[in-house]
Amino acid sequence: MAQAVELTGQKCVACRADSPRVTEEQIASFHPQVSDWELLNDNGVMKLRRVYRFKDFAGALAFTNRIGEIAEDEGHHPLISTEWGRATVWWWSHKIKGLHVNDFIMAAKTDGLFE
């Protein structure tokens, strides 16, 4: 059984085309820490998605910008859709066409920005 790893304290590592995708065991360990995130299969590519709600566009935009700052710091970047009252964030690793531990780390860090 995989040890529980505190995701928010982890740093992203460079992901290469031959980097391993997370295993089912890792997903079972990591997902409870980011339980508000949906695990989605998007045309065969596993992704994490969460919709964050705000009272206006300015709040959603400010949150989007904070995500951009941590994404730059970590060298791992999401897809973000910013609209009036919400920001939808997707994490997955393009190079491996699926989920890497980095995606769970960044989902946890994104949640930390929202709290």
Residue 95 in contact with residue 15, Cβ under 8 Å?
Answer: yes
Q: Which of 8, 1, 14, 6 is nearest to 96 (CA)?
A: 14
Average of per-residue pLDDT across 38-43: 97
pLDDT of residue 1: 35
pLDDT over 90 (residue 106): yes
> Residue 88's beta-bridge partner residues?
51, 81
Report DSSP letters for 7-52, one per residue.
GGG-------TTPPPPPHHHHHHHGGGGTTSEEEEETTEEEEEEEE
pLDDT above 90: percentage of residues in the chain: 89
Read off the pLDDT of residues 52-99 as tens digits, 9 standing for 90 and up: 999 999 999 999 999 999 999 999 999 999 999 999 999 999 999 999
Q: Which domains does the chain have, with CATH numbers?
A: 22-114 (3.30.1360.20)
> Is the distance from CB of 96 to CB of 47 less than 8 angstroms?
no
* Whole-prediction pTM: 0.92
